[in-house]
Structure 1
Amino acid sequence: MERDQAKELLRKYREGTLTEQEKAILESWYLNVARSQDQSSDFAALEENLNSVWQSLPLHQSAVKKLPVSRPLTRWISIAASVLMVCSVGGFWLYKSRQAKPVARIAPPHTDVAPGDNRALLTLSDGSKIILNDTKTGERIQRGHASIVKTREGQIVFDLQGLPKTSEKETRQGYNTLSTPKAGHYQVKLPDGTQVWLNAVSTLRFPAVFNRKERLVEVTGEAYFEVAKMTDGKNRIPFKVVAGQQTIEVLGTQFNINSYRDENAIKTTLVEGRIQINLSGQPKKGVILQPGQQAQLAKGGQERPSESAELRVQQVDVEGVVSWKNGYFRFDQTTLPELMRQIARWYDVEVRFEGPIKEYEFVGQIERSANLSKVLKILELGGVHFRTEGKTIIVTE
């Protein structure tokens, strides 16, 4: 963009007459100027106006927790290699590289891929399978004492009708399994009232009927739980989640589990309440989490954790951890491979790297409702480049 055009847009910005398209052009130009680290006198003359734009752009308002308002532009340039944003996506993207990067070139548009949506397969204890995205809203499926209903919001609800006191033998009659594919997520309300959100490529296995001693479920992939309290007389019925090598005992709470097989650790994050995490066969190494804490268990080459395995506890940005449930990708010093694994799961694509993987770090958020082409465009603007072959994204540099 020519300087005269930039000055005209700045004038219209100050007068409040910018259109949405002009605002996007101005923001994009501003970010490109910042990335160029041009310290010429012309640039210095515009710095005051540019800083004014920065303070008020939607990008800055979203990023205020990451970049202090008082930081001058020239200092900001030296700290953040680049900042990227596409207005139409409805989110912001802050990109950091550990290496200096040239101004990115714009790659040709990619074949577009729609984002994921509500889709899942429910396998009932009798072996029957229900494709939930084909199930009509309000449709009721009866199975013994339980009925299954799909709500208007796309959630499935298990409703136990007149369930008698069950014996241990009766409650072992079978398990239901809810599984999401790539590009799918789903929400379920279990028979005890517990609500579970499943991210893409995840599985929840739970009893057809919970017994009166404990509520035990198993998870792979990523899930968010809002656990309902349940009692048998005066006795609390514990809720337990098995995720890989660990068992989580819940005391009426909200928490997130990330246990994807292609990630290097199982991460359990407590949002509200209290949970206790125990390692399989190693009860002495259990930990109790407080809200805002995350326990990480590094994965080894064995099914069971080694005697040296430890649960590492740290404070985390809970909002960022559960952002997927609220419709966002949220990154906090996320590496490029980790980011691309999230993209692969949500858009049902394969990712391949050509050459060495550079040490990028990403900070920011973007709506998961964006098409894949917009997400890739943002990455390309930051210096990451791709080519596509069918449903495979090849990271070329």
Structure 2
Amino acid sequence: MSTNQNRIQELIAILFSRYVNRKSSNRERKLVEKIYDSIGKEKNAATEDLHHIKSEIKSAIDQRINHRKNFILNKYKYLSAAVILIVIGFSFYIFNKNRPANIISQENKIVLSTKKDSSPILSVNDDIYEITNNIPKGTSFQTIDDEKILNLINLDPLYTETKISISNPCKEPISVLLQDGSQVWLNYKSSLKFEFDKEKNFRIAWAEGEVFFDVKKMLNHNLKVPFKVITPLQTIEVLGTKFNINTVKDYEESVELLEGSIRLSHNLSHYGTMLQPGQKAFLTPNNSKILVINSKNDEKAKAWRKGLFYFEEESISAIAQELSNWYEMPIIVNADLNNLTITAMIKRYEKIDQVLELIELTNNIKTVKMKGKIYVLNK
């Protein structure tokens, strides 16, 4: 299947997922209904290629912006790249009759890298495993909800100390079920060390990079077994909860709580606070306090675990910084675009060009590569 067709399938999968979870807009719901109505009906093949369809849709949007500028500007100029590409996907689907049956099942699949030089690494005491090629005795890969998970619950009892560490040098997120039944996801260039002793009521993890935790509640002799997470700037105490840690930036760390509650303290000042679901905390090395805000939603934390970029009304500068970190390429944004915000859900493609193409499609910008840098300019 071609790259274009794969992208179209992914975008239609997002559309259907939003529809099922009642998160779709009126525009998106109408598209779903059209797709349903079209199933089983004969359509004549069309000769238009994908780029021509893109141009037509972009032209139509621009015309609506020009005719109703004051009202349409915010509604269409900053439309989600995902939503517009879903329109393209629907058009391409109608004209070419792509098979929709397997779309959703492909969306959530996580495939670990098969490159020997970029395999996730698991170490158990002094033993090291490239987990795409070899895993310890008693462990196994399982598929849950179309997600590939390394299960460490039945790790060989010969490993009595149950100290493990995991690092992920590849750009596919990996998921691991720890010995205590808690689940973690590691993003690109992220690592985790975990020590566990149920009899001593002891669970502790050290995390760097971006790691998502789904901590399992545990009792031992009617006592709750705490779970502690330590990063360079913070110590987090939990019992059973879901939260996302990000230490990627040298100057700032964040933790976002999705479920349950957590107590965190600043490692440098020992200032502490409690987080409730829907809150996000920021810590910096030069500020003893912890900034807590109400997070808009948890979609970004969910998206990266599925191999997606998610931006909701984020500035083009912030998006450029995230893409620059991911693709390790400097991105310079023209000052005229400082007020531009973008909402989009885009697959983390191997090449940055494919991501930039989707962003350019629905925003009045262009990108230029020059001397190893990317410049973002007004079109």
TM score, norm. by length of structure 2: 0.67
Check the 8 A contact 1:215/1:238 in 2, yes or no: yes
SS in 2 for 1:244: coil
Change (3 A) 1:371 1:87: farther
Correspondence for 1:133: 132
5 Å-filtered alignment, 1:1-397, equals 28-35=55-62, 39=66, 75-77=71-73, 81-83=77-79, 85=81, 118-119=112-113, 120-135=119-134, 141-142=136-137, 147-152=138-143, 153-160=147-154, 171=161, 175-207=163-195, 212-262=200-250, 264-280=251-267, 282-283=269-270, 285-297=271-283, 299-300=284-285, 306-307=287-288, 309-344=289-324, 346=326, 349-354=327-332, 358-359=337-338, 360-368=340-348, 372-381=352-361, 382=363, 383-387=365-369, 394-395=374-375, 397=377
Check the 8 A contact 2:262/2:275 in 1, yes or no: yes
Amino acid at match of 2:179: P
CA distance in 2, matches of 1:226, 1:188: 10
SS in 2 for 1:334: strand
Amino acid at match of 1:350: E
Structure 2 gaps, min length 5: 1-33, 89-109, 114-118
Measured on the aligned residues, the alpha-carbon RMSD in Å equals 3.8
SS in 2 for 1:339: helix
Check the 8 A contact 1:295/1:311 in 2, yes or no: yes
CA distance in 1, matches of 2:369, 2:203: 47
Change (3 A) 1:74 1:253: same
Could you tell which deviates more after superposition, 193-202 or 154-163? 154-163
SS in 1 for 2:139: strand
CA distance in 1, matches of 2:47, 2:261: 48
Amino acid at match of 2:142: T
Change (3 A) 1:180 1:258: same
CA distance in 2, matches of 1:354, 1:162: 50
Amino acid at match of 1:241: V
CA distance in 2, matches of 1:293, 1:265: 17
CA distance in 1, matches of 2:47, 2:79: 19
Count how many residue pairs are aligned between Structure 1 and Structure 2: 304
CA distance in 2, matches of 1:274, 1:19: 55
Residues 320-344 of structure 1 deviation map (CA, whole Å, 9 limit, x = unaligned): 3322123432102323343244435
How far 1:278 sits from its partner (Å)?
A: 1.4
Amino acid at match of 2:314: T
Structure 1 gaps, min length 5: 1-12, 45-71, 93-115
Residues 335-375 of structure 1 deviation map (CA, whole Å, 9 limit, x = unaligned): 334324443555xx321135755424221212336864321
Change (3 A) 1:125 1:361: same
CA distance in 1, matches of 2:63, 2:244: 40
How far 1:159 sits from its partner (Å)?
A: 2.7
CA distance in 2, matches of 1:387, 1:269: 35
CA distance in 1, matches of 2:274, 2:142: 35
CA distance in 2, matches of 1:369, 1:128: 33
Check the 8 A contact 2:65/2:76 in 1, yes or no: no
Instruction: Give the greater-gyration-radius structure (CA).
Output: 1
Change (3 A) 1:159 1:74: same
SS in 2 for 1:141: coil
Change (3 A) 1:180 1:336: farther
Change (3 A) 1:78 1:202: closer
Check the 8 A contact 2:216/2:240 in 1, yes or no: yes
CA distance in 1, matches of 2:348, 2:87: 9
CA distance in 2, matches of 1:290, 1:225: 15
Change (3 A) 1:310 1:21: farther
Amino acid at match of 2:257: L
CA distance in 1, matches of 2:260, 2:47: 45
CA distance in 2, matches of 1:252, 1:84: 34
Residues 156-207 of structure 1 deviation map (CA, whole Å, 9 limit, x = unaligned): 111346969x9xxx74xx7422111242310001000000011111111112
SS in 2 for 1:260: coil
Amino acid at match of 2:330: R
Change (3 A) 1:235 1:282: farther
Change (3 A) 1:21 1:338: farther
- Aligned-residue sequence identity (percent) comes to 22
Check the 8 A contact 2:173/2:306 in 1, yes or no: no
SS in 1 for 2:173: strand
How far 1:36 sits from its partner (Å)?
A: 5.8
Change (3 A) 1:208 1:273: closer
